[in-house]
Amino acid sequence: MDARQKRHAFFFALIGSFRVMWPVLSGVLATMLVPGFLIGRIEDWGIGDSLYFTFVTGFTIGYGDFTPTHFSSRMLAVIIGFAGIVLTGLVAAVGVQALRATEVEPSQEQ
């Protein structure tokens, strides 16, 4: 299998894996977005700031430029953090699965 065929196999497997995992991925995204918007409402932030806070908190566990001050907002931020860890793991798993689909058994190469 040449490099071009491997790339095609990888992208087809990646798209196929995302199709299968989409219900789970969308649920985890919703688990991040809903608390993020609630935090924005509690803290009186705009939608853009709420989205920024949600994804920065979920994917990198925060920069610190936006910090919730209310106890309920902080608890919701913990939920966002855990959901971000799960989402990162799921995306990594989908990528690994797509890479495994491009593996060629040594007996199949000949």
Q: Is residue 67 part of a domain?
A: yes
Q: Is residue 13 part of a domain?
A: no
Q: At what angle do helices 47-60 and 71-101 cross, to 10 degrees?
A: 60
Q: Is residue 9 part of a domain?
A: no
Q: Is residue 11 part of a domain?
A: no
> Which range of residues forms the domain containing residue 89?
21-103
**pLDDT per residue rounded down to tens, the chain (110 residues):** 788 888 888 999 999 988 999 999 999 999 999 999 999 999 999 999 999 999 999 988 777 889 999 999 999 999 999 999 999 999 999 999 888 888 865 555 55
Q: What tokens does 85 get?
A: 């860890």
pLDDT reported for residue 5: 87
Q: Is residue 7 part of a domain?
A: no
Query: CA 69 from chain center: how many Å?
Result: 26
Q: Is residue 97 part of a domain?
A: yes
Give the up-direction half-sphere exposure of residue 77: CA atoms within 13 A in the CB hemisphere.
23
Q: Is residue 14 part of a domain?
A: no
Q: What is the number of domains present in the chain?
A: 1
Q: What tokens does 14 get?
A: 């990646």
Q: Is residue 3 part of a domain?
A: no
Instruction: Please report, for the domain that includes residue 69, its CATH number.
Output: 1.10.287.70
